[in-house]
Amino acid sequence: MIALTIDVTLRQQSFELQVRDTSSVEVLGLFGPSGSGKTSLLEVMAGIRTPDAGEVVVDGRVLFSSSAGINLPARDRHIGYVPQDSLLFPHLDVSGNIDYGVRHGRAEGAHRSTLIDILDLPDLLKRRVQKLSGGERQRVAIARALMTQPAVLLLDEPLAGVDRARRDRIVPYLLRIRRELHVPLIYVTHDESELNAVADRVLQLETGRVVKAGPPER
């Protein structure tokens, strides 16, 4: 469970993103058509983009607050981010990508083994990232983000780069992360049906506004 306070105003070229929501969740689902501001909201949470006003609080930790003048840099936020296109580092192999976030590497060996096991990566470690399929890229990107033991994991359309047949094989990985690692997720998609299996609260976005909030319609 994680307590989230999201109160974000971000002026974009085409519209103004304005999201207000407070919740305690394990998996928060964000859904809406493309261009509704889902990715922008994730980038604001990760610290890649600075909102014009508002505040972002994760489990009592203030990441951003315009009234208090707080804007924690991305590297101090402990928020894992998996962008839609995975964005694996092209000059590093799979191991290099997974280990990028580890700087002291000592006590984290067990955590690393667990992740490699859960995400089924042992055969991929020495591979070049250019040789991976869409689903494999997603799993590596997820492992890379989780290695830093983030307070929350942001997933942007994790099934978008994966063909229909393999989608059903990614979802179990996500469920295992939630069940075994107890990492809260914020899960972004344009397909509401994906959320039914994983989310316990869903925000529906349209042109920057929340048009519906509540539990998923199962």
Write out the residues near another protein by the rule CB under 8 A. Answer: 43, 46-48, 73-77, 79-81, 83, 87, 89-91, 100-101, 103, 144-145, 147-148
Task: Name the minimum Å distance from CB 81 to another protein.
Answer: 5
CB of 168 to another protein, least distance (A): 27
Please list the residues that pair with 213 across neighbouring strands: 203
53 or 74: CB nearest another protein: 74
Query: In whole angstroms, what separates CA 54 from the centre of its chain?
Result: 21
Answer yes or no: are the C-beta atoms of 21 and 210 closer than 8 Å: yes
Q: CB of 173: closest distance to another protein in angstroms?
A: 20
Q: How far is CA 5 from the centre of its chain?
A: 16
CB 37 within 8 A of CB 207: yes
Of 3 and 151, which CB lies nearer to another protein in the complex structure?
151
Residue closer to another protein, measured from CB, 9 or 149: 149
Least separation, in Å, of the C-beta of 105 and another protein? 13
Residue 213: its H or E element: strand 209-214
User: Sign of dihedral through CA atoms 171, 146, 24, 48?
Assistant: negative
Is 43 or 194 the residue whose CB approaches another protein more closely?
43
